[in-house]
Amino acid sequence: MGLYEDLNTDNRTAMAVAAALEVAMGPDTILTVGLPRTEVPDLGLLPTNSRVVSLDFTSGLSGIVAIAVSEDLARALEATAPDEEMLSGLRPAFEVAVGEIRASNGGNAEASSPHEVPVSDFLGAFPADHQYLSYPLLDGTERIATLVLQVGQEGSESHVAQSFDADTGSAFPAAARSANAGSLPDLEHHEFGSLPDANTINLVDPRPLALLHDVEMGVTAELGRRRMSVRDLLSLTPGAVIELDRAAGSPVDVLVNGTLIARGEVVVIDEEFGIRISEIVAGVGS
């Protein structure tokens, strides 16, 4: 199994980043990892009013790790960091992310220091030959951060920033702009063949997906969470009550292999508990 397939089938990197952010934000924060998206990242995958911090892999593989945080999360990280810098608050999350990817890549991966980049530059251009995973990190139902993993073969381009040409109204890689300042490369006109009639297009055969129908996955219903110190855990006795972070009557989270996929209400079926699904989390089946 390749590195991308390994990361795509196991969300431990995103879970580790979420745990590091929880520590940075304080004991009252519990984050949930949403389902990953595999398309090239765009503005719709990021939190509202994002700030983006990114690092590049320098050896072992090519690509980036980036964390886009909401404005509220950025302020919370600044408030808890010793130097009141958002970057300092995110550094532990990057360390665990690189550590998980290094382990998945056989211990072979080194990265640069994380640095903040403008959102427009971050989304400017991504190599077409790379593969992507974008994990939403949720505080309840609110997306407060997005973890973006871009993975490619060592030696390939990691990330190509785009420049915008006000004269032509087009965007193109900044490296090409600087290399050809004052002149444009020779362009060759290409004629594309006409598209076939819609009724004759052969869609991808969906049947290979049936190979996965019998694969078993662990489904967990989560009533709520609470952080406790070791001292409090050791003091638990029969009859003790643990207060959870969920109000009475709130929907129960349904997770598959640790990833939130739905919410529902608890029901009783023939003297056994069950979950009636009331909401499918955005991204499932898309």
User: Which of 22-26, 152-156, 176-180, 265-269 is predicted most confidently?
Assistant: 265-269
In a domain, 270, yes or no: yes
Provide the domain limits for residue 24: 3-160
Q: Is residue 202 part of a domain?
A: no
Which distant-in-sequence residues (6+ apart) come within 8 Å of 283 by Cβ? 34, 35, 37, 136
Q: Check residue 177 and give its pLDDT.
A: 40
Same domain assignment for residues 136 and 61: yes
Q: Are 56 and 126 in contact (CB under 8 A)?
A: no
The answer to whether residue 96 is domain-embedded is: yes
Beta 131-139 vs 32-33: how paired, if at all? antiparallel
* Coil, helix or strand at residue 135: strand
Average pLDDT, the chain: 78
User: Which residues touch 93 (CB under 8 Å, ≥6 apart)?
Assistant: 17, 20, 21, 24, 67
80 within 8 A of 92, measured Cβ to Cβ: no
Query: Does residue 168 sit within a domain?
Result: no
**Residues 231-268 as b or e (16 or more Cβ within 10 Å = b):** eeeeeeeeeeeeeeebeeeebbbbbeeebbbbbbeeee
Beta bridge partners of 64: 56, 150
Query: Which of 97, 120, 86 is CA-nearest to residue 20?
Result: 97
Please check whether residue 174 lies inside any domain of the structure.
no
Interval 67-103: pLDDT, tens: 999 998 998 888 888 888 888 999 999 999 999 888 8
CA distances, 37 to each of 41, 60, 84, 119, 277 (Å): 8, 24, 32, 18, 23
Residue 266 is part of a domain; what is its CATH number? 2.30.330.10
CA distances from 12 to 73, 89, 135, 282 (A): 22, 20, 11, 20
Q: What are phi and psi of 220, to 5 degrees?
A: -125, 135
1-50 pLDDT per residue, tens = 466 676 767 788 999 999 989 888 877 788 899 888 888 888 888 998 89
In a domain? residue 126: yes
Are residues 221 and 155 located together in one domain of the fold? no
Q: Give the integer Cα–Cα distance in Å for 55 and 57.
A: 7
Residue at 197 is within a domain:
no
Number of domain units in the chain: 2
- For residue 269, being part of any structural domain is answered with yes
Same structural domain for residues 222 and 148? no
